[in-house]
């Protein structure tokens, strides 16, 4: 199973997260796997159990749930797992020069 974390990529991966309220924020991904991601939530007030839509680079919004919140990080479980090819694409695009 493929997992990407900050040491696996040269650049960063950012996601747009949208809550049910309609508020959205761009967040840095600390770790991502088939089933979800951990985000840096310093700029985002969320709670475990919140439903979210997550927009990964180059993909459509994907539904998910916030499953835990601790200090500056939050864990989001995707409703549908990501394919290996998607994780490879995210790694490759995060390391690509802007």
**For 22, which DSSP code?**
S
Residue 7: pLDDT band (50, 70, 90) is very low
**Residue 91 in domain:** no
**Residue 97 in domain:** no
Q: Is the pLDDT of residue 63 over 60?
A: yes
Neighbouring CB atoms inside 10 A of 42's CB total: 10
Residue 11: pLDDT band (50, 70, 90) is low
Q: What is the mean pLDDT of the chain?
A: 86
Query: How many structural domains does the chain have?
Result: 1
Domain range holding 70? 3-86
Q: pTM for this one?
A: 0.84
pLDDT of res. 25: 93
CA–CA separation, 38 and 73 (whole Å):
7
Neighbouring CB atoms inside 10 A of 40's CB total: 16
27: domain CATH number is 2.40.10.220
């Amino acid at each position: 199973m493929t997992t990407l974390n900050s040491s696996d990529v040269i650049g960063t991966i950012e996601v747009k997260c949208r809550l049910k309220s309609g508020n959205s924020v761009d967040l840095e991904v600390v770790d991502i796997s088939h089933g979800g991601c951990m985000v840096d939530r310093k700029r985002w007030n969320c709670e475990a159990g919140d439903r979210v839509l997550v927009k990964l680079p180059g993909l459509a919004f994907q539904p998910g749930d916030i499953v835990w919140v601790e200090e500056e990080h939050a864990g989001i479980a995707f409703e549908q797992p990501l394919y290996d090819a998607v994780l490879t694409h995210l790694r490759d695009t995060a390391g690509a020069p802007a």
